[in-house]
Structure 1
Amino acid sequence: MPGGRKRMTVYHKLVRDRIPEIIEASGRRCVVRVLDDQAYLDSLHRKLEEELQEYLTSRSLEELADLLEVAYAIAEFRGVRPEQLEQVRREKREARSGFRRRLFLLQVSD
């Protein structure tokens, strides 16, 4: 950059744990902070929305996996192990089934 000034990009978003290491390995520098509990949970919820939008745009398997990673992080924060989350998913599937039949509810009458 002219005059020796370096370009800085501001992100203000939750990143995976190894991202700072990856950035620094590329010869760049980054600044991070550790979030308190409420800021972390809020950031996880924003990240879930971000990953959902990325999946809806790309429909890629990688973005779908990112959604799962954020869901697991939220569960872990709430003290729930991945196995417990999976058990709840299985129980709901047993009680109400899944989405394989592609049913689209139009209306219900009394």
Structure 2
Amino acid sequence: MKKYEKLVRDKIPEIIKKSGRECEFIIAPEKERYDLLEAKLQEEVEEFLEDKNLEELADVMEVLFGLANALGFSEEELLKARANKNEERGGFKEGIVLKSVR
């Protein structure tokens, strides 16, 4: 039996059962979820940096939504904050590298 002890997506236990295997899981207490999400963010960012594909990037985004939720914000509020910051300060599309300020 393989042990994991990590946060997984909500449908993973169901997917495992449908494949004919068994799994053991718990629902993390509310007070532990934020720390689990931070660890998951680090895991997903490392996977993205290694594989550099859209699926891994989507995983990073899903964890960000989970962190927002754990902090009491909705996905919509996170996206609105992103849009506001983009409007005020821009994004990262142009590749501007600040070298110095005098």
**Structure 2 length normalisation: TM-score?**
0.93
Aligned to 1:52: 45
Q: Give deviations 1:34-84, integer Å, cap 9, x for gaps.
A: 111232111101001111011111111000011111111111122211111
**1:69 aligned to 2:74?**
no
| Structure 2 counterpart of 1:4 | none
Task: Give unpaired runs (5+ residues) of structure 1.
Answer: 1-7
Q: CA RMSD in A?
A: 1.1
Unmatched runs of 5 consecutive residues or more in structure 2: none
Paired position in structure 2 for 1:32: 25
* Whole-angstrom distance in 2 between the partners of 1:55 and 1:69: 13
Alignment partner, residue 97 of structure 2 = 104
- Read off the aligned partner of 2:73 and give its amino acid letter: V
Which of 36, 49, 53 aligns to 1:43? It is 36
Report the Cα distance in structure 2 between the residues aligned to 1:12 and 1:84, rounded to whole angstroms: 30
Structure showing greater radius of gyration is: 1
Name the residue aligned to 1:3.
none
Whole-angstrom CA distance in 2 between matches of 1:108 and 1:39: 42
Q: Aligned partners of 2:92, 2:11: CA distance in 1, in Å? A: 35
Q: 2:12 matched to 1:19?
A: yes
